[in-house]
Amino acid sequence: MVTSNPFTAMFGRSPFQPLLSHIAKASECAGELLPFFEATLIGDWEAATRHRETITRLEHEADKLKTELRLNLPNTLFLPVSRSDLLELISVQDKIANKARDITGIMLGRRMQVPEELAQPMRDYLKTAIATVEQARKALEELQELLDSGFGRNVSQVMMKLIGELDQLERQADDQQVAIRRQLFEIEEKLFSIDVMFLYKIIDWIGELSDRAERVGSRLQILTAR
Amino acid sequence: MSIIVQNGDIFIILACLFGFFMAWGVGANDVANAMGTSVGSKAITIRQAIIIAVIFEFLGAWLAGGQVTETIRKGIIDPDLLEHDPQLLVYGMLAALLAAGSWLLVASMRGWPVSTTHSIVGAIVGFAVAGLGIDSVDWTKVGQIAASWLVSPLLAGSIAYMLFRSVQRLIFESNDPFAAAKRYVPMYVFLVGFIIAMVTLVKGLKHVGLHFSFLQSALLAALAGLVVMVMGAYLERRISRSKRKADRMGFEGVERIFGMLMIFTACAMAFAHGSNDVANAVGPLAAVISVVESRGAIDTAALVPWWVLVLGGSGIVVGLVTYGHRVIATLGTGITELTPSRGFAATLAAATTVVLASGTGLPISTTHTLVGAVLGVGLARGMQALNLRVIGTIVMSWLITLPAGAGLAIMFFFMFKGIFG
């Protein structure tokens, strides 16, 4: 009885499915930041802890997918894209989830509450960052279509458009960051100085979230350019 | 001479038995490879695959299998050397059939996709070297065959590459891939029909006693292609666009159209396989029969009797039904990341290569061409992941097949020599 036919094994397991699932997890991770932020605003630390736990779990799952992809990528696998680009892409993706976890960690640990004046701009800023990650996920889904078509011209145009929108979102997040920093600067004298230090850090990290999402886009561009 | 006259019936019976055994091995080991891509991409069910294989393997063996048979039978060994000892040829061919058949049995049990062509050529070379000396083998002919082992994956790979690129250009890159698929797929169906019909007409039908000029054949083949194309267009009409929203480019519908096309490529592959690989079993069998019937004369011009091809064809079918369907089943559930459009390009390229080779008389391996074709689609950035290590293992098993076939053949050769004198 033939169980492991070499002809079957000839078609290796495609690494693209874990890649897609991974960005979906990362995007879910980032999405959870918004309810977490709302909970911290009203000082509901129990709810915040729960959201933090969800984020940690998602981050672990993303890690598992990353390992799976790396294990699935032996040197003998023949792929339509460069192996190093693929590994680079997954590590950039992975950093999105990590950053989301870091943000919740520091905010929960220090029981940080964003000052009321900053709440709305921060909420918008966070939303933009999350939208950027979401956009990166959409672009990656396009990769599947691109693979289906054997890198057809039309699909790559769609992909380029998605990446263009991603860049735009990241710029928007940048502008929001500048505005928030300015607002914080105006009120920082009224606040406890160490809190201000960490607030700047959180603002920075949310910016990094969208930066990394944008990096996913540029890695994708490299991946599909050749 | 007297040995042959005395034991003529026994020789023929043994040859038929061993030939059938060998053909069984071909059916058990090879057919699954030929049908695997179609089943693996979920284009056809296992039941459909078996029905297609039974019909088209048989037709291929019967209608177009004669040409390669002659290469196997008299291309490798220098017939002049056997003038005085024709019984040695009989022993040798019997030994070769038994050796290759046994090796295929072992390989099928273990699940190695070995080349049936390698087995039989290795076995014949083995017996010739052991029984008649190194000089008896026509090494340039062996070299030609060996070269075709390299050429056939390359040829299949290039054809597969070009086919998939053309699919990409015409269908996947158009603004409406689904509409483009509907428009261009009949063309590919025509191609399938034309190639099969052409080879059948030019190379095969003389065994049945029909003769056409090249131009007549081309016209008839085009006609056959048109008939198949109409059939394809009819089947295609029933396929509708997918309703899923996520499938923005309409690729799902495109793949379903290609799934329909896979039915035709599966037929082509089975036909090509039957026409090429039946020779492995039938060639030595025909040699024995011709020696026995001419009472010892090594008649190089003898035609293959039609019933011998039928015997070979039935052997393949029995092998497929008794054993090959299990391998197809494993393949069918195993290959998940193969879509109909890639499977189509790989299979049609492999079939075309085999059909071309059986037209020119070179006994090439279906296994080789299929691996080459899959690699070709991979190079066109079609395949998402190919495991090169496994491909390496497959190639290794091909290399082992030659000495294994040779060794077994030498053993059996001396056994027969001992029995009959």
Smallest Cβ distance to B386: which of A1, A11, A147? A11
- Residue A43: DSSP 8-state: T
Judged by CB atoms closer than 8 Å, whether chains meet at B388 and A80 is answered as no
What per-residue confidence (pLDDT) applies to B155?
92
Could you read off the pLDDT of A129-181 as tens digits, one per residue?
Answer: 999 999 999 999 888 888 888 887 788 888 899 999 999 999 999 999 999 99
Q: What percent of chain A has pLDDT over 70?
A: 96
What per-residue confidence (pLDDT) applies to A1?
37
Of B10, B125, B66, the closest CA to residue B306 belongs to B66
One-letter amino acid of A180:
I
Please state the rounded mean pLDDT for residues B307-315.
84
A199 vs A206: CA distance, rounded Å: 11
CA angle A63, A68, A72 (to 5 degrees): 150
Domains defined for chain A, CATH in brackets: 14-225 (1.20.58.220)
What per-residue confidence (pLDDT) applies to B204?
59
Could you read off the pLDDT of A75-88 as tens digits, one per residue?
Answer: 888 888 888 899 99
Q: What percent of chain B has pLDDT over 70?
A: 86
What per-residue confidence (pLDDT) applies to B302?
54
Query: Percentage helix, strand, coil, to 5, in chain B?
Result: 80, 0, 15
What per-residue confidence (pLDDT) applies to A6?
64
What per-residue confidence (pLDDT) applies to A2?
42
What per-residue confidence (pLDDT) applies to A210?
94
HSE-up of residue B348 (Cα within 13 Å, Cβ side): 30
What per-residue confidence (pLDDT) applies to B336?
53
Tell me the CA distances in angstroms from B269 to B107, B273, B349, one per residue in order: 22, 6, 9
B403 vs A170: CA distance, rounded Å: 64
**Stronger pLDDT, A198 or B149, i.e. the higher one:** A198
Could you read off the pLDDT of B76-127 as tens digits, one per residue?
Answer: 777 676 777 778 888 888 999 999 999 988 887 777 778 888 888 889 888 8
Smallest Cβ distance to A145: which of B251, B336, B378? B251
Find which of A1, A10, A72, A76 to mutate to test the B interface (most B CBs within 10 Å of its CB): A10
CA angle B173, B156, B276 (to 5 degrees): 135
What per-residue confidence (pLDDT) applies to B241?
74
> Is the pLDDT reported for residue B344 higher than 70?
yes
Judged by CB atoms closer than 8 Å, whether chains meet at B384 and A7 is answered as no
Could you read off the pLDDT of A92-109 as tens digits, one per residue?
Answer: 999 999 999 999 999 999
What per-residue confidence (pLDDT) applies to A3?
44
Judged by CB atoms closer than 8 Å, whether chains meet at A10 and B40 is answered as no
The pTM for the full model equals 0.82
Of A18, A87, A105, A100, the closest CA to residue A58 belongs to A100
Q: What is the DSSP string of A152-202?
A: -HHHHHHHHHHHHHHHHHHHHHHHHHHHHHHHHHHHGGGS-HHHHHHHHHH
Judged by CB atoms closer than 8 Å, whether chains meet at A79 and B164 is answered as no
Judged by CB atoms closer than 8 Å, whether chains meet at B172 and A149 is answered as yes
Could you read off the pLDDT of B159-205 as tens digits, one per residue?
Answer: 999 999 999 889 888 888 888 888 898 899 998 888 878 777 766 55
> Is the pLDDT reported for residue A202 higher than 80?
yes
Of B313, B331, B317, the closest CA to residue B374 belongs to B331
What per-residue confidence (pLDDT) applies to B88?
83
What per-residue confidence (pLDDT) applies to A215?
94
Nearest CA in chain A to B395: A6
Please state the rounded mean pLDDT for residues A68-77.
84
Q: Decide: B392 and B102 in contact? Cβ < 8 Å.
A: no
Mean pLDDT of chain A: 90
**Stronger pLDDT, A56 or B64, i.e. the higher one:** A56
Q: Domain segments of chain B: what residues?
A: 3-420
SS3 B364: coil
Judged by CB atoms closer than 8 Å, whether chains meet at B384 and A6 is answered as no
Going by C-beta distance under 8 Å and a sequence separation of 6 or more, which residues neighbour residue B16?
A: B285, B311
Could you read off the pLDDT of B255-303 as tens digits, one per residue?
Answer: 888 888 888 888 888 888 887 787 778 888 888 887 887 776 665 555 6
Judged by CB atoms closer than 8 Å, whether chains meet at A1 and B177 is answered as no
**Stronger pLDDT, B60 or B325, i.e. the higher one:** B60
Going by C-beta distance under 8 Å and a sequence separation of 6 or more, which residues neighbour residue B106?
A: none
Could you read off the pLDDT of B4-40 as tens digits, one per residue?
Answer: 777 778 888 999 999 999 999 888 887 777 777 777 7
* Contacts B381 to A, Cβ<8 Å: 80, 150-151
Judged by CB atoms closer than 8 Å, whether chains meet at B387 and A76 is answered as yes
- Residue B323: DSSP 8-state: I
Find which of B390, B394, B397, B401 to mutate to test the A interface (most A CBs within 10 Å of its CB): B390
* Contacts A8 to B, Cβ<8 Å: 36, 40, 330-331, 334-335
